[in-house]
Chains A and B, each alone.
Chain A
């Protein structure tokens, strides 16, 4: 089955700086890569996703890039704000798979 690895496990940045979280996946057939943000005690929220037919997708201050050859994808957050502090999970899946395969999460702390 699919194996998703996520790095780093914790990340601290100064407010206004950029943050990058990286994930690798093992199954070359995976074609859907969502990112979830989870604040303490809250539900995971889908913040952005990308499919394998594109290499990059942006939504305001967040972007996701995908390198199919290397089988890795990254979340980029620019101009970080304290409210970006949360745990971020990457995931991967493919057509015919019945569930998402999640990474182990990155705890992002934005220092004011």
Chain B
């Protein structure tokens, strides 16, 4: 158990819908990263938040957005869903803003768009 929690575990929804994925970082960690992993693919970095502020953006679509709240949990919002958005979505947390510190991953949310 990494100490990072994600809900829900599974999500099945229809094209065009909107969903929200939730992540709670390890105690003491201020950074939250979001990654997308499509079937048999690598880890695509989406976005990073540190202490409530957006720090870095990766390959995140305009239909996706995220935020980090004062209690440091983060939410990833996916809208106008398409079949190709079906994937595992992981969040990871780290103590620092810089990428050269350990990142610990949550169990992931499996999103299926039908």
Contact = CB atoms under 8 A, between A and B. Distances in A.
Q: Does A associate with B in a complex?
A: yes
Interface of A: 30-32, 34, 36, 41-46, 49, 51, 89, 93-105
Given A43-B105, A89-B42, A103-B42, A98 B2 contact: no
A16 B87 CA distance: 34
Looking at chain A's contact residues, the main secondary structure is loop
Interface of B: 2, 33, 42-43, 45, 48, 55-56, 58, 88, 90, 97-108, 110
A92 to B, nearest CB: 9
Given A43-B2, A43-B90, A46-B104, A97 B42 contact: no
B89 to A, nearest CB: 11
A16 B57 CA distance: 42
Given A46-B104, A99-B56, 4 more contacts: A42-B107, A42-B108, A93-B100, A102-B43
11 contacts: A32-B101, A34-B103, A41-B88, A44-B43, A44-B90, A89-B42, A93-B100, A98-B97, A98-B98, A102-B43, A104-B42
A43 B102 contact: no
A25 to B, nearest CB: 12
Contacts of A44: 43, 90, 105
A100 B99 contact: yes
A99 B48 contact: yes
Given A43-B2, A44-B43, A97 B106 contact: no
Contacts of B45: 99-100, 102
